[in-house]
Chain A
Amino acid sequence: MTAEGKILVDKQALLGNLLQEQQELTAVEEFAQKHTNKEIPVQKKYYESLIPLSQPKEGEQFAFKVNLDACTGCKACVTACHNLNGLDEDETWRDVGLLRGGNREESSQQHVTSACHHCLDPACASGCPVNAYDKDPVTGIVKHLDDQCIGCQYCILKCPYEVPKYNKRLGIVRKCDMCTHRLEVGEAPACVQSCPTSAISIQIVDQEAVLEESQASAVVPGAPSSEYTQPTTTYESTKPLQKNMLSSDYYALTPQHSHPPLVGMLVLTQLSIGAFCVDVLINLLQKSPLISEMQPFHSVVALCLGLLALSVSVLHIGRPQYAYRALLGLRTSWLSREILGFNIFAGLATVYAALFWLGPIESFIGMDLPLFLKSTGLREGIGIGVAVSGILGIICSIMIYDDCKKELWRGSITGLKFFGTALCLGLTTILLAALAGVYIMKPEHAVDVHSVYTSKLSLLMVVAFTAKLTWEATIFRHLNTPTYSMFKRSALLMKNHLSLATKVRYFFGTIGGVIIPSVIYFATVQAQQGSSSFILVLAVASFVFALIGEFCERFLFFAAVVSKKMPGGV
């Protein structure tokens, strides 16, 4: 071998050795193991005084206590909670926010660490449709039953403190359980163990006292009112917090999660129910042979869109295979009630639609059906049942959001939106269905359809959409008010961060709900013989535009909601 060749071999050998050595982990052999077989935590000496020695008595419970004077915002608690509980890579159960305030003379700031407040009346639990929350009768800890959860995330909307966190990998929500299993054996929760300045501790609180304290107060300035859920965390400070202390993200508006499946579900259920109602009403108010000819078709259209809506809603659920549990929460959860309501609606609507098709059904199954099924009275009765159950379903939908106690989701606002959508899209759908039915199936009624449906429905659409759009737009008047209200923030979000959706909402809504229906109206009024294919194209366009407009409205309903929360960071 040449000298150079040998050097090359040497280099390669060294490289091989180094690469191999790099992968050998020898610390365990090289260094003595400390605390072998020691089960009692050595850290105990630091946290012993920070947790109660006894269990809570009747009427008491465990609660977090934070010494604000000691908290300097290092955020070790967040990471310790993450590590010691083995959370997923980006999952955190504790947050640290910052309040800032003061004036030219004296500036002040205060970091605020918070996790679950283990409330007396946990909103997460009352909203949960599957009873996946359990407030421990002894410790008062609000525990989440991970295996019970179906991942509907309603608790995330319900909790004013943003505590439950959705875990995409598992399709469920998880949250702080005050390290129950640590407390059980006399160990401190991760956050308590890890605070370098012992700012967090666990105390026993009197539940009655918490209730009294929670009247017209908030845990820290800017936090949601404690009346709603009666949080048990106590924040202590020797320095009074200045009046103008604001969370440092107070002006940093961020759009919220838009929940696309919910957007789809809500708009389409309302469309379907609206269509049923409009159709039933038309049937009740007018007598025309055309109507009875068209109803079978209309009811199928409405039913299909309704069923589509309900299947879309399943996309929202992390673990749909357990969706059957959703009725367990009927006693307290509007979500359970909504699910029940819509199921009754869907059942009745299916029967109702089927009643129009008894002839084809008989020939398909090859036997006669009982005669009473064919009575108009039964059909009309069920029709009213469909409408009523649908309306009840929409009321439940409204209550779901009203119950979140967010100003922008108040029942009156949500109600107008949801029923408005039902009316607007109900009209639009039936108009389209009537025209399409005539065009495709009953061309002979081309003239009738305009007098029975088209002119009236299009006029009603113009009125309904104009009213809804105008009312919705009134939120923008808050842009000019000095008060930084939730409405102003929402309007700012729509104007800035969500401007595309806002533009689409008004542009499409106006075209589909006002302009095209006006054209249709004049076209039908002026030319009774009008070209039905032209009007059908207009109706299709109106439907598509109006629907997109409503989807955007609902997207904004979720994305532009602003509510009080625990202080956030810069």
Chain B
Amino acid sequence: MSESTTLKSKISNLIRQWEGPLTRELLLEPGSFGLGKVPEKQKPDATTTVVCGFCSTGCGLNLHLKDGQAVNLTPDTGYHVNLGMACPKGWEALAPLRANDRATKPYVKNSSGKLVPTNWHDAMTKMVTNFKSIQEKHGDESVAFLGTGQIVTEELAFLGALTKFGMNMLHGDGNTRQCMATAVVSYKQSFGFDAPPYTYKDFEESDTMIFVGANPCIAHPIMWERVHLNKNNPEIIVVDPRKTETAVAATQHYPIKPKSDLAFFYGIANQLVEKGCVNKDYVDKYTTGFEGYLEHIRTFTPEVVEQESGITIEEQAKLVDTIAKGKKVSFWWTMGVNQSHEGVRVAQSMINIALMTGNFGRPGTGANSITGQCNAMGSRLFSNTTNLLGGHDFANPEDREKIANILEIDVKHIPDKLGWAYDQIVEGISQGKIKGLWVIATNSAHSWINQKGFKDVIKNLDYLVVQDMYHTTETAVLADLILPAAAWAEKDGIFVNSERRLGLVKKVSKAPGEALSDFNIFRLVAEYWGCGEMFSKWTSPEAVFQMLKECSKGQPCDITGIKDYQMLDDRGGIQWPLPAGTEKFDDERRMFEDGKFFHADGKAKFLYEDPRKPLESPCREYDHWLLTGRGTSSQWHTQTRTKKSAVLRKLYPQDPYVEINASEARKMQIEASEWVWVISRRGKIKARACPCYHVRPGQLFMAMHYEETNVLTFPSFDKYSRQPSYKACAVKIKKEEYWE
């Protein structure tokens, strides 16, 4: 460029500048690695696929790396789960890692009750000393743990093994109790093993999909993507008291009364039987208990069902017709079913219909539980809580022997009975039987049902250790000791998604300060506890993975055919089962195609029971049902992570809100956006009114992400799964008076 043109362009730039440093801020450049254009300032020098750490969909995220450090991400185009898409949480997955309230050092409560930073040696010494002295005084069982579905499988296994085999604890459970226990128990009872049968391809292949207490549009947007890819012009049916986003997108919606689901499905089954929709061949060959079931559902006539559920006889007939017509009918449920006082039987009422109509083991069929957390499925098999590592039985001496051999430990270290469930541990604390508690990657002081009760109860503890990536969670601030944990993408390991797919998490970001991966924290605890020897084989997540493979051998969840992490990476995740010796296999597989179930007789069981009234339902004083659920796709559970992203924060309401039927709101002169009181027998909270027609009169809805919501919920539990019944309790709503 000649000098005169430079000068000219300089002058013209002064007048109208088309390019320059500010324009370059947003410069895009080809990202290579098959990415297309990416921001120049974040242009990667390598990429790698990591499974998302929020929900159980298990999307593959393609992390853009610069010197090994993740600088950006895009959804992985080739991953079998998400086909190049992600929800806002996935897109923003790196933001929560950079939050300034990350725990970067252990914190210990000082003499004036304040949490102050300390070093690891001090933290470990205090933890071990305190727990050991509690155990000396009150017995080994007086220290318990509450785990999670948010950390990798190898860590869950380590936690379960360390606490139960090394530290002699008996009681330990996970927050998976709050989301998946019902599905686990219903599958275990019906199939003989906790085996969600489906693969996501079934969303694309079904011609009739029945979503029950599930709102995939918001809760699992990527599963909805798969529904959207369905070419069969499917009937999409939503059974949910509330007109959810999914109900809006569906072709049929049945707004049953809260807690009438069991009667409803028995009634639908009854009419299907009468319509002659029973696949006798399938029932005879592959199931047991059908006769009793037939007898049981006979009393659920259309009239009874209308009475119970509020769905008219004509509407019921329409649903029955639709199911009868469907060639590939599938049932999908989530928390609306699981979080119920009789969720196990409700789940089985759908399993029963699927079995009875022969909608099982074929493409696009099944009774399918959509899971909640990213590694709930890993926890279900390997957390060593509700079963011995790999779906084994603590009570079975052979199983104990097998696991002891694989882990090379003395079998006497393995307890021969199950520990308590979450609610029993909380009860144990209140009765003074549990004195020490170790909470890992969960936020009980926000999420546990009847939250105030929980906060009161844990005051009885002598020592509370919270292990988390933030030192500010509602639970961490109550702790005596906080252990700073590395987060998702700051460590290696495996997540198992809803469709049983094992996928990899990789260390692509440096943990802040002295935060350590949960895996390494467990190694440290083992060393300080004095049982380091027992875990000398537990040197890395991948080493543990090899042991877990051995544990799964011969089980329905056999994964001995997966060679190593690299194989998982190459295949874009692999679903269990994959026994050793499998030569060729599909990337999307469903179970029970051969009709073989895991009970001793190889058959599935029809299980049923009379519906029971919930322990709390609306009365004259507390005259509304309170329904709870997910608010938006940009919020995750107690929001410890999602609220750390400035972008996600923009995508959900900042204040807690309560949806109320618009005509009721008019009668009560409650206006949109005004603050109202929502009051239950447990407490009272303020929320912004959101009048709409999506909830029926007599019902309110609140999103679970706001701390306020669980102040109201009523602690009742499914008797089989011990899962809390978050979805319904009795409340009243009242205008905020001007003096309040």
Contact = CB atoms under 8 A, between A and B. Distances in A.
Contacts of B69: 25
A280 to B, nearest CB: 37
Nearest to A187: B36
B23 interface: yes
A43 B84 contact: yes
Given A11-B528, A76-B85, A28 B68 contact: yes
Given A25-B68, A41-B36, A145-B17, A104 B647 contact: no
A279 B532 CA distance: 91
Given A100-B694, A196-B221, A185 B37 contact: yes
Interface residues of A, number: 93
B39 to A, nearest CB: 3
B288 interface: no
Question: Chain B binding site: helix, strand, loop or mixed by DSSP?
Answer: mixed
Interface string B23-67: 101101010111111111110001111000000000000000101
A18 B524 contact: yes
Interface in A358-373: none
B77 A46 contact: yes
A23 B516 CA distance: 9
B510 A23 contact: yes
A216 interface: no
B18 A148 contact: yes
Contact of B228 (A30, A131, A148, A196): A196
Interface stretch (B87-95, B139-147, B388-396, B714-722): B87-95
Contact of A78 (B36, B88, B124): B88
A26 B35 CA distance: 22
B650 interface: yes
B652 A86 contact: no
B634 A100 contact: no
Interface string A244-255: 000011111100
Given A15-B120, A74-B218, A147 B523 contact: no
Given A31-B569, A43-B84, A92-B647, A182 B28 contact: yes
Contacts of B121: 11-12, 15
B663 interface: yes
Contact of B224 (A11, A28, A196): A196
A107 B16 contact: no
A343 interface: no
A73 interface: yes
A39 interface: yes
A25 B509 CA distance: 7
B217 interface: yes
Contacts of A31: 48, 506, 565-566, 569
A58 interface: no
Interface in B232-281: 243, 245-246, 248-249
Contact of B650 (A90, A172, A187, A325): A90
Nearest to B228: A197
Nearest to A10: B527
Contacts of B92: 79, 82-83
Given A10-B527, A82-B647, A251-B671, A36 B33 contact: yes
B679 interface: no
A84 B88 contact: no
A569 B225 contact: no
Interface in B97-121: 120-121
Given A73-B218, A174-B26, A19 B16 contact: no
B21 A147 contact: yes
B590 interface: no
B666 to A, nearest CB: 11
Interface of A: 10-12, 14-15, 18-19, 21-28, 30-46, 69-70, 72-76, 78-80, 82-87, 89-90, 92, 96, 100-104, 106-111, 131, 145-149, 170, 172, 174, 179, 181-182, 185, 187, 193-198, 248-253, 325, 328, 569-570
20 contacts: A12-B121, A25-B510, A35-B32, A35-B33, A35-B47, A41-B35, A72-B246, A73-B218, A79-B92, A79-B648, A84-B37, A84-B39, A86-B25, A107-B243, A109-B243, A147-B13, A149-B22, A170-B25, A197-B225, A325-B15
Closest CB pairs A-B (n = 5): A86-B39, A41-B36, A107-B693, A147-B20, A251-B672
